[in-house]
Structure formats: structure tokens, C-alpha cells
Amino acid sequence: MNFPHSLSHFPLFLLFAFLAAGVLGVLSRSTPLTRLRAAAWSFLLFVAVGIAAAWLIYPISH
């Protein structure tokens, strides 16, 4: 299976954020539109926090 191995770290990170945010959006709201908004908001937060954490620990590796 070549699909996930062909992805680099960042697309895998986006895939993880997309799937986890999708589940959270579906579970936390009851109508399709509000679910979509909650999922989008969760996705943005996942990405923002992930990038912020990456920059925070960047000096440790260099």
C-alpha cells in the first residue's frame, strides 16, 4: 500500500486534523450547517495549535 507513505508529514498532519475535526463536529452539533462550522473551526484550531507547537519546539532540535 503506497498511499499514506507517499504523503509527507504536513499532509498527514492535515489528514489527521481533518478526520478528528470531522468526528468532533458531528458529535458536538445537531444540524448539518452547525456541524460543518464546528468541524471547520476544530480543523483550524488543530492546524493552528499544531503549527504553533512545532515552532515552539523548533529551537530544541536546532
Partner 1 sequence: LPEPPNSPLEPTEPGAPEQEPAALPAAEFRSFKSAPAEIAGADDPRTAGDVRAEELHAEESRADEFRAEESNPAPAGASAGKKGTPLRLMALGTLVAIVGLAVPGMGHVLLGRWGRGLLLSAMVGALAVTGYALRGNIFDAHPHDVFHLLGFVSDASSGIFYLLGRSIEANGPNVSLAIGDYGTRFIAASGVVNLLCALDAYDIAIKAKR
Residues in touch with partner 1 (CB under 8 A): 1, 3-5, 9, 12, 15-16, 19-20, 22-24, 26-27, 30
Contacts of 12 (CB under 8 A, 6+ apart): 4
Minimum distance from CB of 1 to partner 1 (Å)? 5
Nearest alpha-carbon partner for 19 in 43, 36, 37 = 43
Nearer of residues 3 and 58 to partner 1, judged by Cβ: 3
Radius of gyration of the chain (CA): 14
Minimum distance from CB of 2 to partner 1 (Å)? 9
